[in-house]
Amino acid sequence: MSKDTIRMLLAGTGVMIDGSDPWDITVHDDRLYGRVLRYKSLGLGEAYMDGWWDCPRVDELMYRLLSARVDARIWGNIANLLRALPAVVLNLQSRRRSPIIVERHYDLDNELFLSFLDPYNQYSCAYFEGTDDLDAAQLNKLDLICRKLGLRREDRVLDIGSGWGGFGRYAAERYGCSVVGVNISREQNAYARRFCKGLPVEIRQCDYRDIEGSFDKVVSVGMFEHVGRKNYRSFMNKVLRVLKQGGVFLLHTIGNNVSRRTRDPWMDRYIFPNGELPSVAQIAKAAEGLFVIEDWHNLGPHYDRTLMSWHANFVDAWPRLKERYDERFRRMWEYYLLSCAGAFRARHIQVWQIVMTAQGTPQPVCRV
């Protein structure tokens, strides 16, 4: 019965069970069907990690499932509703809870991340304009951000969620400005200080809520996804307070097509605990009355290509990583990278660069 229900859900998607196309699912354990119907995306992802099914192109599978809106046709059960309840009632991204994502993801292992990233360690969407090479595309992204900000040598720049220090190093090297990076990941900060040694880059172990100082430009790349909707307005207020009159703020974030109170349960459990993707409406509401939106650029298709490049690099790096991680971890990480690529390909989620200024600021030139 469960198998028949799954077949009906797949009708019209182009996906077959035990078919011959690279996006078809090969089932190794018939318990898969009941697990997916009961636990939805969590069950599907965990079953893949456990080896219950395989697919040569998980990215293409997810692209077809999400394009056909299969996710919207599967009704949630009480267990899924109960999992979503804390996000509705609690502030899951409070100061006390914010270190959870760091402990379970960003402090996991620098060697793991750097094995598939580019030389500037960009764990965010690249910009494949005029190139098919990941390293060049990440340099394109960094330069695009700097041009949109209108960086000058005399600028003091704040980088909220500074990662492994890639943006700070690039901006200091190429534009000669000074950069203050704030981050709550000890592992990333330790690496970033070494990576930016000798440059006018300061790395602070600091929650964004505790930022002090005054800055000509503010940038945040791939961090807003961890702020949470209950804190969006506080985040915007903090940026406004530290941004000098006439300054420019650039927000680079993954975003949802609709406002949601729930998170993908598999991604929440295994990859980004308490992560929350903002919608256009949520960002606009948080910025309303504080900032003027100068430019809104959707780079979504570029993230598909970024993730596929990361996956290829991860596969190449696995022989030297497998002594530290087991097969279940490998399948989890590949499923994460490939399913996200499929989601961007289906236009299920987006990635935006949004340029903002305080009210009364002359319009900057947003050079794309």
Catalytic residues: 340
Query: Which helix (DSSP H) or strand (DSSP E) does residue 244 occupy?
Result: strand 243-256
- 81 vs 12: CA distance, rounded Å: 28
* Range list of H helices, the chain: 2-10, 31-49, 58-67, 70-73, 78-89, 99-101, 110-114, 134-149, 166-175, 186-195, 232-242, 265-270, 280-287, 300-321, 327-345
Q: Which amino acid is at 272?
A: F
Backbone φ and ψ of 21, nearest 5°? -80, 155
- 328 vs 306: CA distance, rounded Å: 23
- Hey, CA dihedral for 62, 63, 65, 70, is it positive or negative? positive
- Which tokens in the block code for residue 71? 């996710």
- 95 vs 32: CA distance, rounded Å: 39
Other CB atoms within 10 Å distance of the CB of residue 82: 10
Which of 270, 269, 280, 186 has the alpha carbon at shortest distance from 224?
A: 280
Angstrom distances, CA of residue 208 to CA of 93, 110, 305, 353? 12, 22, 30, 19
